[in-house]
Structure 1
Amino acid sequence: MKQRFWQFALISVMVFLLAACGSAKQEGATDNKTAPTSQQETGQSQPAATETAKGTREITYLGKTYTVPEKAENIVVAGSIESMEDALVLGTNLTGASSVGGSFPQMFAEITKTATDIGQKQQPNFETMLKLKPDVILGSTKFPADKTEKMEKIAPTIPVSHKAVDWEANLLLLAELTGQQDKANELLQQYKKDLEAAKPKIGAEYKDKKVIALRLRGLELCLYAESVFFNPTLYDELGLTVPAEIKATKKQEIISIEKFSEINPDVIFLQFAESENKKNVKILEELQNNPIWKNLDAVKNNKVFINVVDPDAQGGTFWSKQQFLKAAVEKLGS
């Protein structure tokens, strides 16, 4: 009886062990099939994620972060003449750009040789931009939100500041997009050296003189606020005294020749662009023949300097500032 019991027990143990072994093999076979499938899926998804990560990058500009392609080769400038001036400095050929009066200003000839006209700076053509397949669009903070949103549907869009105080950030933005940070930094350092050298040449004689920069548009003289146009260079950087009339100016204001004669500047930097005065290209000549104009101290002392910088220049960009500084030293330097 005992012998049968032990025989039965032994058989039960053997059956249990065989069952356990078979189960282990089956699980092992299942694991071997599952593992390659998992690796295969990882092999498909991982490179895509890596490619996406490598294909884009983030750029921070004026406190906001933008996601742009790692290589921004096809750049379209829509409305931001400031960016076109920065492209001129860095030698960046544009894929598309805004025109002024139906054509690209001559000062941008070098960077628009192969560029497509995307329409007037105030009214870009979205269909034309779409066909160009840009990597990045440099818009303008002057644009209303709906225009910027339309451009964002075409490509990553960065609204570039039109404010003169942001000139350095604007240059560094394009430099970062095009991989020319070293060149931009070298240019900025050189400008600051030139500025320091210019201060004693100009400041000693003109610090307390009335020096004013303005534009002639149509029959109107345009004054600019202290932080606009060439004014930051004159007053902030070169340290000249800000005339009370400039301090009172908000952004841009039209002033009559009679009212301007009351300011009676010692020095005038006058900008006149034919592209803005096509209806009356002789307006500058008419101004110069005006008796009130002739009676100004600056005119009588031959201290009126016309278009010392290309008249299509914005004034508040690196290129404009660099050119204006050179001209100021040449005209006023002792």
Structure 2
Amino acid sequence: MRKGLRTWGLMLLTSVSLGVYAAGCGSQARDAAMPAAEKPASRVVQYLGKEYTLPVKAEKIVVTGALEGLEDLLALGVKPVGSMSIGGTFPAIFADILQEAKPIGERMQPSFETLLQIRPDVIISSDKFPAATAIQLGKIAPTIPLSHFPGDGEANLRFLGELTGSGDKAEAMIRQYRQKAAAAQDHLPARVKDKKVVAIRIRVGSISVYPAHVFFNDVLYTDLGLPVPAEIRAVKYQELISLEKFSEMDPDYIFLQYAAGENPAHPQAVENLQQNPIWRSLKAMKNNRVFVNVVDPLIQGVAIGGKIQFLEAALEKLHQ
């Protein structure tokens, strides 16, 4: 009797073990037949000496902080799904690419909540952001801080061209810019080659000046080869200066850029300046050589397309 029970128990244990084994094999077979969860294909892209792991297809791009980035995307015909606003609206200059974009906050105040809702593939940000903001953006999606220095304009455009599959178009623009820059000095009137020429911007109602290789100064002093005024050589960062101090510079030519969205509390800043006796006493003002917004006031002087526009406009004005 005991022998029969032992035999029956052994048979039962064997039967259960075989069942478990079969079930395991069936599960493995099903797992093998089911496709694994697909991970987005990625690639490594180099930009300004750093490597970024980005999706192969970056279909959902957002831009925050970097107007230079919007300029380049406009030139490439690429439409971001989200973008910063200026003064609560999208600037008209970018209408062609922002018609369907979602606002993601003001220029230097991105809305992290909105970005999380969009779930972008890539965030084009600015190297002007503080470290804390950059870290927060990086937690949402791969983030590339675009340079705001004009000398990096070609690198910016090449990177965005590679990111968006528009590399050929980017290279064509770079060739065009180099050709125009190489020929620019030959087209410069001899009478202005020793003149004091400056580019300024009105920010928060005051005059801003820039270092020799920032803003449109890179075009004036590098591409056109104009002499750098001593006062500009002394500028290390964007600097707000008084009209009295600026008048000591007394330029021969002034290129003044003013964007209403950057001066919401000073809508009459240019008009007030033009009526000021100190401004009216300037050499450039007396000779009708103050040029306001020769290009769109939001063009930063970094993106290649904007540099071409300003180069052409400056040459035209300097012939007057």
| TM-score past 0.5 threshold | yes
| Larger of the two Rg values belongs to structure | 1
1: CA distance, partners of 2:52 / 2:266: 43
Q: Which residue of 1 aligns with 2:221?
A: 235
Q: List structure 1 segments (4+ residues) > 6 angstroms apart after TM superposition.
A: 40-45
Cα deviation, residue 277, structure 1 = 2.0
Matched position secondary structure for 1:254:
strand
Partner of 2:273: 287
The residue type paired with residue 330 of structure 1 is: E
Deviations 1:135-194 (A, max 9, x none): 111111111222222222221111111222211111111101001111100111011112
Query: Residues 183-220 of structure 1, C-alpha deviation per residue, up to 9 Å, x if partnerless?
Result: 10011101111222221111633221100000123442
Measured in 2, the distance between the counterparts of 1:128 and 1:230 equals 33
| Residues 1:125 and 2:125 aligned together | no
- The answer (yes or no) to whether the contact 1:216–1:271 under 8 Å persists in 2 is yes
Unaligned runs of 5+ residues in structure 2 are 1-24
Matches within 5 A, 1:19-98: 52=39, 55-98=41-84
Q: Deviations over 1:100-120 (max 9, x none)?
A: 111111111111010000001
What amino acid is the match of 1:159?
A: P
- Identical aligned pairs, as a percentage? 52
CA contact (8 A) 2:147 2:156 kept: yes
CA offsets, 1:276-331, max 9 Å, x none?
Answer: 22222112111111111111111111111100011122222213211101101221
Which of 162, 166, 191 pairs up with 1:176?
162
2:87/2:264 contact within 8 Å kept: no
Give 1:56 deviation, angstroms. Answer: 0.8
Aligned residue number for residue 97 of structure 2: 111
TM-score (norm 1): 0.83
Residues 87 and 300 (structure 1 numbering): CA distance in 2 closer, same or farther, change over 3 Å?
same
Q: Distance in 1 between matches of 2:120 and 2:284?
A: 48
Q: How much has 1:41 moved relative to structure 2?
A: 11
CA distance 1:163–1:99, shift in 2 (3 Å): same
Structure 1 residues without counterparts, runs of 5 or longer = 1-35
**Corresponding residue for residue 121 of structure 2:** 135
Preserved contact between residue 203 and residue 238 of structure 1 (Cα < 8 Å): no
Question: Deviations along 1:60-101, whole A, 9 cap, x unmatched?
Answer: 011110111111111011211111111111111010011111
Kindly indicate whether the alpha-carbon contact (under 8 Å) linking 2:43 and 2:56 is maintained by their aligned counterparts in 1.
yes
| 1:290 alignment partner AA | N
Distance 2:157 2:32 in 1: 41
- Aligned partner of 2:16 in structure 1 is none
1:278 corresponds to 2:278: no
Tell me which amino acid in the other structure corresponds to 1:132: I
Shift of 1:42: 12
Q: Give the AA of the match of 2:193.
A: K
CA distance in 1, matches of 2:177, 2:319: 17
Equivalent residue, structure 2, for 1:161: 147
C-alpha distance in 2, partners of 1:68/1:220? 40
